[in-house]
Amino acid sequence: MNTRHTSSHNKITAASPSFSELKALLAFSQPLFTLRKKTTLITDGEKFKGLYLVHSGLLKQSQLKKTSENEIITHFFFPGDLIGLDSIFENHYSGSIASIETCGLSLIKFHDIANLPITKESHIQLLRILSKSMRIEHTRLWRTLSQSSDSRLAYFFITMSSKFREQGYSPNSFRLPMSRQEIANYLCMASETVSRIVSRFENEGLLSANGHEYFILNPEGLARIAEKA
Amino acid sequence: MNTRHTSSHNKITAASPSFSELKALLAFSQPLFTLRKKTTLITDGEKFKGLYLVHSGLLKQSQLKKTSENEIITHFFFPGDLIGLDSIFENHYSGSIASIETCGLSLIKFHDIANLPITKESHIQLLRILSKSMRIEHTRLWRTLSQSSDSRLAYFFITMSSKFREQGYSPNSFRLPMSRQEIANYLCMASETVSRIVSRFENEGLLSANGHEYFILNPEGLARIAEKA
DNA sequence: CGGTGCCTTGAACACAATCAAGTATGGTGG
DNA sequence: CCACCATACTTGATTGTGTTCAAGGCACCG
């Protein structure tokens, strides 16, 4: 299985927890394919085909608000993440899903949860993954709702940091391929606000940002901001 | 089964969709018991015992923010709703759950989803209910995040209206036992804001509010406000 | 070099929170 | 049944956070 990330950071450990949890499902995984950057994988309302497992790259799931303006980004998908969990009991996917950078993906093909030819234990296991991911998402939304922009962004960097640590990369030095605008859409704020806060965090010595490369200089300080009202 | 509501509104139809979807589960339902108003049913982090089915009354699920201040209300539970769906794959409930008015409840007792002694079809059915409720909640959170206070509150009244319609009561005249403060905590705004907007809606002839009694006068107008950015 | 898109920074504005009275309402005891 | 108190609700004034509008800078790429 190819878990190599496109960025050049050091790999510390090998296993992504999500992968190990998915052994049973992976038996049904189709061959890995490549999706080049800024390409749509799934259009809004498309028929459910199965789950996609991300091997490398980054994708976003977004909902276009009817009131023309900017998209709302509901998820970023990193290596080890499953795409489509929120549609597993539906006939169609929700929102459109597109790559931000070139991705390696594989499809775990099934039409319906009831048709997934795995054991009862694996079934329960899948449901636990589903439940866990929903709970994480739920927590994130509540945080976004009830916290200040500073807290949200600090929490975002902490989350990203954890993601990279889990994948075996350095948690304090990483590349985020998404634009400021996309981060803003994910956190439900204006891109100017993201810019301003990042600048402030830099002045306060919390982190350093150079284009899409980020260095966390003071994780404790960020955590403190993320936790306060 | 006692599905009578405590308020005095006309009952139009008999069935709550949630009840009919739950036939298999209901076979394991314990006897109905009464919880008097403003009483805690579940304290935060309590061990999972099963799902509670609401027969009458109203309950709230809330998370107390560590930063001392006011609670965040994550759910209101109406007759026909299941309490604990979000904890079905966990060992403990999340948040504390308390009645707002006197409630009739029954417990569907089981320790673990794997131990639920029902057929595969019922199992899948339960999961669909779970999935549906999470999707509804998810949609609600996204709306709350990305809409103005006006839209949120308009949407709240529309949702309440649908709830009552589903239960067979008049969708345009109903009693909401929760306080303004509780509505505010549910929608993540200040109670003063709720007051102001309700007053404005009244002036604009959209609805009429008298204490806890609400009359929707212009559903289309409310829907328009709920839908616009 | 001169573009184009992305990002940053500044200034003005708007929406909702907070602070602060003041007004109903409901429950309790006389 | 009324008087009283506590609580909930309303309304106004002020403040603050974040958006919007606008301009300028930087980098990548022809």
B129: confidence class by pLDDT, cuts 50, 70, 90: confident
Protein-covered nucleotides of chain C (CB closer than 7 Å) are 6-11, 15-20, 25-26
A150 CB less than 7 Å from any atom of strand D = yes
Confidence (pLDDT) at B123: 74
The rounded mean pLDDT for chain A is: 85
pLDDT tens column, A86-95 = 888 888 999 9
- How close is the nearest chain B Cα to the Cα of A204, in Å? 24
Three-state SS letters, A109-156:
ECCCHHHCCCCHHHHHHHHHHHHHHHHHHHHHHHHHHHCCHHHHHHHH
Residue A119 at interface with chain B, using a CB cutoff of 8 Å: no
Confidence (pLDDT) at B67: 53
Dist CA B120 CA B19 (whole Å): 19
Confidence (pLDDT) at A136: 87
Amino acid identity, residue A60? K
pLDDT tens column, A66-93 = 654 678 999 999 998 999 988 888 889 9
DSSP for B61-104 reads EEEE-SSSS-EEEEEEE-TTPEE-GGGTTSSB--SEEEESS-EE
Confidence (pLDDT) at A2: 42
For residue A71, what are the β-bridge partners? A64
pLDDT tens column, B26-40 = 777 889 999 999 999
Which residue in B74, B225, B214, B228 sits closest to B154, CA to CA?
Answer: B225
Residue B69 confidence (pLDDT) above 50: yes
Amino acid identity, residue A127? L
What are the chain A neighbours of B132 within 8 Å (beta carbons)? 89
Residue of chain A minimizing CA distance to B123:
A114
Distance from CA(A5) to C1'(C2), angstroms, rounded: 36
Could you identify the residue written with the tokens 């007792």? B109
Residue B138 at interface with chain A, using a CB cutoff of 8 Å: yes
Dist CA A184 CA A193 (whole Å): 8
Residue of chain A minimizing CA distance to B68:
A229
pLDDT tens column, B13-68 = 333 445 566 666 777 788 999 999 999 999 999 999 999 999 999 999 999 876 55
- How close is the nearest chain A Cα to the Cα of B36, in Å? 29
Q: Mean pLDDT across the stretch B183-210?
A: 96
Residue of chain A minimizing CA distance to B146:
A188
The rounded mean pLDDT for chain B is: 85
CA distances from B71 to A120, A178, A189 (A): 39, 34, 24
Torsion angle (degrees, nearest 10) of CA A85, A107, A50, B143: 40
3-state SS assignment for residue B115? helix
Confidence (pLDDT) at B5: 40
- How close is the nearest chain B Cα to the Cα of A176, in Å? 24
Confidence (pLDDT) at A215: 96
Which of B67, B89, B142 has its CB closest to that of A229?
A: B67
Q: Which residue has the higher pLDDT, A138 or A20?
A: A138
Confidence (pLDDT) at A10: 36
Inter-chain residue contact B74 with A124, CB threshold 8 Å: no
Residue A4 confidence (pLDDT) above 50: no
Q: Which domains does chain B have, with CATH numbers?
A: 17-145 (2.60.120.10), 148-227 (1.10.10.10)
CA distances from A58 to A25, A43, A139, B60 (A): 21, 17, 22, 38
A189: confidence class by pLDDT, cuts 50, 70, 90: very high
Amino acid identity, residue B2? N
8 Å CB contact between A3 and A64? no
Q: Which residue has the higher pLDDT, B25 or B214?
A: B214
